Amino acid sequence: MKSTNIFFTFILSALLTGCSIYGKYSGNAAPPEGLTGSEVNACAQDASIADIPWKEFFQSPELRALIDTALVRNTDLAVARLKVQEAEAALLGSKLGFLPSLAFNPSISYDSDASSYRIPLSISWDNQGLGSIINRKREAQARAELSLDEEKGVQSRLIASVSDAYCQLLLLDRQYQIIETTESVWNSVLQTQKALMENGKCYSTSVSQMESSLIEVKIRKADILNEIKNVEYSICLLLDWTPRPIHRGEWAAFTLPASLKAGIPARMLEKRPDVRAAGKSVEAAYYLSRQALSAMFPSLSLSGMGGWVSQGVSISNPAELIAGTVGSLTQPIFARGRLKTNYKISQLQQEEASKAYSRTVLTAGNEVNRNLRACQLAEEKDALYKSQVAILDESYAATRELMRNGKASYIEVLVAQNNLLNAQLSEASNIYSGVIGLISLYISLGGGVE
């Protein structure tokens, strides 16, 4: 009979809590149409460059080695992994909330006549509102998945930081090479100018101007070398290394890809860790509000105890055995508005999480548009820069020849050389911008997590 009453109490508790607190989260709203712009939608495909594992996306073996090291040694990523373990432990604890608690509390008392032994074994189960337990577990599940997405986000940003710094090193190497070549050429021009001065074909002021220009080139060379060291230090910090030189490949292998328009699908944002994490935040907030709601409904408590009480070591009287079962149903009636306030706050927090999710999606779409446009622009300008460098190189060679024959001044040579130098540096910077744009596009589409 007692068992029947307990079962009836349990069923009554479940019915009183209502079906609304047991419902599962239905998911985030779909991103608005036109989020990624007409340029992205026009080249949408079924495959995405974000589906490519980072070891295949990055072709440089030196860069892959640096990323591998960063994924093992970076402190921020290690902290993110610890947070994943914390969330998994919290999830396990929430799953154990369905289990009863077991307690063993023996006691012994002595007097002048006899000793008394009491060895009870008690078991209790408090569902704290069955809906609260279920939603607490679901919230913990969402937060565990959120922490995993956050770890992937840290990983993708780390890969982006290492690859950006590595590409910057290659650009600085190229700039250093151009400046070094310019210095060598200007030394040759200076010697020619000195020879013309000795033969009375130019003035000493032109030689002084050439020497000043050569010193300026050497200053730029020293500045670039300093930038190289600073970038190497930043890479060492990402890899948790003490300062050291960074091994890297050659600039010749650093080129724009054949096409920058392929592989931008309409479903591109679903792989982004920050978008996924923002969605999980909304889900966790939803289950948190269900917990606050379930606190307003009845909670069921069951407890039982078994054991024995004796005046001696052995049980001599069956009456000394003790056992009992108690069931109770608690319905909150008045708590000074605390339960209602908690529920209202949880609803507002869910709305905040939903707004943050929408903002994250819009920001993601904006990043994809900007990165795609940067790639396309670099591709368009690449051929123009190559043509400009070729023209200025011919112009500079012709001007030098005219100066040797006394038909051009040193100023014309300086102008021609400076124009060529700036064009070469601009060409290198454009290639760098295109490659960085492609890496940023890869990361903004959710690449780097595999």
Let me know if residue 380 belongs to a domain: yes
Burial-class residue 17 by CB neighbours within 10 Å (0-12, 13-18, 19+).
buried
Residue 6 has pLDDT above 50, yes or no: no
Let me know if residue 200 belongs to a domain: yes
Taking only the tens place, the pLDDT of each residue in 427-437 is 999 999 988 98
* Residue-range definition of the domain harbouring residue 135: 2-96+130-299+346-444
Confidence of residue 290 (pLDDT cuts 50, 70, 90): confident
Choice among 85-94, 354-363, 417-426 with the minimum mean pLDDT:
85-94
Confidence of residue 272 (pLDDT cuts 50, 70, 90): confident
pTM for this structure? 0.76
Domains in the chain: how many in total?
A: 1
Let me know if residue 325 belongs to a domain: no
Confidence of residue 319 (pLDDT cuts 50, 70, 90): very low
Q: What is the CATH number of the domain that holds 282?
A: 1.20.1600.10
In terms of average pLDDT, the best of 208-212, 249-253, 272-276 is: 272-276
Let me know if residue 382 belongs to a domain: yes
Let me know if residue 224 belongs to a domain: yes
Residue 247 has pLDDT above 80, yes or no: yes
Let me know if residue 331 belongs to a domain: no
Let me know if residue 323 belongs to a domain: no
Let me know if residue 426 belongs to a domain: yes
Higher-pLDDT residue of 109 and 427 is 427
